[in-house]
Amino acid sequence: MRILCQLASFYQLVVILRAISTFFPITSGSPFAPIVGFLYKITEPVFAPIRRVLPTAGGFDFTPLVVIIAINILMSILGC
């Protein structure tokens, strides 16, 4: 159970980092490009289905917020 809590906490951090990374223009030559690529690769499988259901509001993507709320609910259920 503890390892699931740690994985959920780690994934929550990854989601937050991805959300923050969208505020900065990262080019392919940037030293941060591999990190951002990893963040996208690990979060997009979760984000894509939610994005299909959840419309954007005024250009804002609320998908990371929905994922963070879902992780918090899961962590609460697990007793983390």
Say which range, 15-19, 32-36, 59-63, 67-71, has the weakest mean pLDDT.
Answer: 59-63
- Percentage above 70 pLDDT, the chain: 100
How much is the pLDDT for 27? 87
Band (60; pLDDT cuts 50, 70, 90): confident
Which of these, 62, 77, 74, lies nearest to 10 by C-alpha position? 74
Band (34; pLDDT cuts 50, 70, 90): very high
